[in-house]
Chain A
Amino acid sequence: MGKKKNKLDEKAKLGLVLFGIYSLIYATFVIINTLWPKLMGKIIFAGLNLAVIYGFFLIIAAIVMGLIYNQMCLKIEEKK
């Protein structure tokens, strides 16, 4: 029972850390949009501006972080 307790805790902690990281990226995006909207129009790469690159990044980051989270959770579960 004690072991199970720790595993659940570990996954919950991992989830919270990843949630914190994503929230920070999302909050930065909202802050730039709110305070410096013109900065979002700055061309960054391949003719694409910051707004498009950051927006796509947020979507792709959600998918990639989800996959990383799953892999790490599987490892934690395998240790069982």
Chain B
Amino acid sequence: MDDISGNNRPDWRFAGVSVWVTGADTPVGAAASDMFEREGAKVLRSGVDGIPNPRTSAEAFAQTAGLDKIDILVTAVRSISVKPLLESDAADFDNAVADNLIGVFAAMQAAFLKMVDTAKPEPHSNGVMLVVSSIHGEKPNGSAPLYSVACGGLNMLVREAAQEYGRLGVRVNLLAVGPLEGDPALFPSGITAVYDDAEYKIPRQRLGTPEEAARAALMLCSKDASFMNGASVPCDGGYQGFYMNADVERRLEAALAIGKEAGYGR
């Protein structure tokens, strides 16, 4: 049996690692925080227990002030406001961007200065940042449009950070999470069918779970992803490959019949 009392278990990828998770109140953020702790990390959770998600640089720096170091930053904030573009005003825009984009930018700044020892003549870090975003950085949802706008901003924020922070060794990647359980209810839309029957547009014909997204996030934070920087990785079960004329079921039946006839498989 596994000995879970020690802190040098070979399957603990994050023993002794300090992790800061913003958006720990979201399903993916909560699942990732739990998983980091199970693998030996010390986790600071923003978004829960009276610690708000930072929306400004000042708030972000205040949250990290007491920490010795940060090795890994995971941002999983998600603030969705269902309101048509035509009815939204500048304040709605500012809110969506502050929650989903500026807060991430501020957390990156604050975390970076805890990752890199600026006192050293040639500072270097093995820090990692992972931005949990969504498929709506590419795909409009027709429901909470300003959320998509913020996600689109994250795509470029991550690439910029990967270039700049990457010079000092910090890797920055993005996980574009696809329809998870519960998502269709968050994005009601009268103008698109993006979430109508979403599970049937995924080859596996089911929605993803927060745990699946969190596991992908941990992989990108681990040493296994040491040469990944500025990457945008979809975690969507293949959902973004769906196009309207996909007659999946009939084709699959035909394919299996052919394979059987040809003697492939069991």
Chain A partners chain B: no
Residues of B near any A CB (own CB < 8 A): none
